[in-house]
Every structure is written in structure tokens, then in C-alpha cells.
């Protein structure tokens, strides 16, 4: 049975015990991808952050909770020997420089210093033991294709899935997605507006073709 690694949901970087930095993600698209991978008879390791959807229960899936970027990268490295790795999670790009163990009291202003988190997709794609096929995701709001091509080149993944808003719909917490697939050579295949189930089917079909 082929093996797949997938990251889904959103990570959090805590400022103090109650406040955090995060990215928007419901986990719907990630769960739709898992459903398709199950139909394709993959054994799946799912590294997940915070989800707003119920996980699919199957003996073919192992779920590992990775609440922040560091823990997700650690587990990704442990599970790197797979046929297919899909990095769909909305990972927070930054973490606070100085975490406060006590709740920060409300003031008129609050200044927080941030530092970059490790780049999970780039780290795995540049590893000597990288998966056979790597797939990244990029959500863009402007110059979408140009920015996605830059990310594809920078991360060195095999495919990059481009998502962007449509008709004032940011696609978060929605049944629909919008975008397409960038191949490793930079060629773009448009999917357009589709349900996240259909979007997932088209992604996996193209990659496994």
C-alpha cells in the first residue's frame, strides 16, 4: 500500500496563555484530500493543527496533533519516507520572540516582536530523504500566478496548488475553492471555482496521472 503524508488545519503561536497568532483554515480542503487518498488506497499520516471539521475515522489514517510550526516540522521529518506528501496546513509564518507565561494585562498599546517560523515545505523539499512527490499550497490575493510561481521555485516542490478568492468570497470556511495546479515546470492548469470535494479529486487525479 502506498504511503501519504498530509498536513491540514491551522497552527497557533501563543503570545501568552490565552492569546495567539494563527492563519485562517477550517480543514475542509485537507479533509477532502484525505477522502480521495483513502479511495486511492493510500495509508495516511495526517499532521493536523486546529480543525473546524470532524476527522474521517479509518484504520488507514494515523492522526498526529501538531499545534505549532515547530511540532509540525518535527513530525514531518519523522514521517518523510512516503510516496506522496501534501502540505495543505495554514502554518503561522511567525511566532513571538518572547512568550509571556502570564496573561498580558490590557494596555492602550501592545508591541510584540515576531520572528520567522521554520519553513516546513521548504525544509522537507530540500531534504536528502524528501518524499517521492511533494505538493505545496499557496493562498494569494494579488498577482496570484506570479507569486505562486515564485513560491514554487523557492520551495522546490513538485506541484503547487494555487488558491485565491473569487467574487468577494475568500474561500475560507466555504464549500468552495478556487484556483489551479502549477506543475514543477511552471505550467498552470486551471481548475477554477469548484467544491472542495471536486477540487481535491482534480488535484489527486492530476498528480497521480
The conformational region for residue 22 under phi > 0 = left, psi -120 to 50 = alpha, else beta, is: beta
179: which residues sit within 8 A by CB, 6+ positions away?
144, 161, 162, 163, 164, 191, 192, 199
Which CATH number is 132's domain given? Answer: 3.40.50.10300
Is residue 154 a part of any domain in this protein?
A: yes
Q: Tell me, yes or no, whether 197 lies in a domain.
A: yes
Would you say residue 10 lies in a domain?
Answer: yes
Residue 105 lies in a domain: no
90 within some domain: yes
Structurally, the chain folds into a number of domains equal to: 1
Q: What angle do CA 13, 86, 97 make, to 5 degrees?
A: 20
pLDDT per position as a tens digit, 134-163: 999 999 999 999 999 999 999 999 999 999
**Residue 73 · residue 118 · CB < 8 Å:** yes
**Predicted pLDDT of residue 178:** 95
pLDDT tens profile 15-63: 999 999 999 999 999 999 999 999 999 999 999 999 999 999 999 999 9
Q: Which domain holds residue 189?
A: 3-95+113-208
Amino acid at each position: 500500500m502506498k504511503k501519504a503524508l498530509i498536513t491540514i488545519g491551522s497552527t497557533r503561536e501563543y503570545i501568552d496563555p490565552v492569546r495567539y497568532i494563527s492563519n485562517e483554515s477550517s480543514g475542509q480542503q485537507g479533509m477532502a484530500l484525505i477522502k480521495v487518498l483513502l479511495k486511492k488506497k493510500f495509508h495516511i499520516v495526517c499532521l493536523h493543527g486546529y480543525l473546524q471539521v470532524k476527522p474521517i475515522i479509518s484504520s488507514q489514517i494515523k492522526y498526529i496533533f501538531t499545534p505549532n510550526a515547530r511540532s509540525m516540522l518535527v513530525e514531518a521529518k519523522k514521517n518523510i519516507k512516503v510516496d506522496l506528501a501534501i502540505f495543505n496546513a495554514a502554518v503561522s509564518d511567525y511566532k513571538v520572540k518572547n512568550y509571556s507565561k502570564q496573561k498580558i494585562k490590557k494596555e492602550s498599546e501592545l508591541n510584540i516582536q515576531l520572528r520567522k517560523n521554520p519553513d516546513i515545505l521548504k525544509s522537507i523539499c530540500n531534504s536528502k530523504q524528501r518524499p517521492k512527490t511533494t505538493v505545496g499550497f499557496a493562498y494569494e490575493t494579488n498577482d496570484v500566478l506570479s507569486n505562486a510561481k515564485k513560491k514554487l521555485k523557492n520551495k522546490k516542490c513538485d506541484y503547487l496548488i494555487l488558491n485565491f478568492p473569487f467574487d468577494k468570497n475568500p474561500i475560507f470556511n466555504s464549500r468552495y475553492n478556487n484556483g489551479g495546479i502549477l506543475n514543477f515546470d511552471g505550467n498552470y492548469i486551471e481548475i477554477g471555482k469548484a467544491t472542495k470535494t471536486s477540487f481535491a479529486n482534480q488535484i489527486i487525479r492530476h498528480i497521480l496521472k
